[in-house]
Amino acid sequence: MTADIESAAAALAGGGVVLHATEGVWGFACDPFCAAAIDKIFALKNRPASKGLVLIGAEASVFETQLAAVDATHAAEVRASWPGHHTWILPDTSFPDEVRGGRETIACRVPGHAQARALCAAFGGALISTSANLSGCPPITEGEIARRDFGALVDYFLAGEVGSAGRASTIHDLDGKILR
């Protein structure tokens, strides 16, 4: 594990917000159980809490509770898409309402981006990871722009490279609909 990943994980553990690269865009990460950090992300994005947020984990086992709540066929489909650029809406009541947008579901992904997975592993659990942009504006795909626009507003900037996807992850529901 690199010193940068360790420093970013320490910032997260201390209630901070980290700006980091993902498969397709730059994102804001925080501890999903830290209300102050969640509030900061909503403020940075100028986004209403009713929209909820995406969680990422280092591996599928991070979301075992959510996967256990769906039938074996759907759970296998989700696991087969990870790691990857696929976010799934899964049943959940264990994460805070602010993360779930007041719903009884949560958006989960094991990213196809090694550094994002390493950040989750160093933190020791799921992280909120939402695109670094103002709500309604295009996500940022270049590190220089991410640092310029948000670097001074977050607690840690984790230098890295965005993967080749070039866009935010695809969001699936279990009914087979593509939501984004």
Give the domains, in start order, of the chain with CATH numbers: 1-14+52-131+169-180 (3.90.870.10)
Closest CA to 170 of 178, 160, 159: 178
Determine the Cα–Cα distance for residues 97 and 86; give it in Å rounded to an integer.
Answer: 22
Is the pTM of the predicted complex or chain greater than 0.75? Answer: yes
pLDDT digits (tens, 9 = 90+) for 76-88: 999 999 999 999 9
Q: What is the mean pLDDT of residues 46-52?
A: 89
Determine the Cα–Cα distance for residues 65 and 113; give it in Å rounded to an integer.
Answer: 23
Report the percentage of the chain scoring pLDDT > 70.
Answer: 99
Mean per-residue pLDDT of the chain: 95
| Integer CA distances (angstroms), 156 to 63, 107, 150, 162, 168, in order | 26, 24, 10, 17, 21
pLDDT digits (tens, 9 = 90+) for 116-157: 999 999 999 999 999 999 988 999 999 999 999 999 999 999
pLDDT at 33: 98
β-sheet bridge partners, residue 172? 88, 178
Q: Say how many C-beta atoms besides its own lie within 10 A of residue 14's C-beta.
A: 12
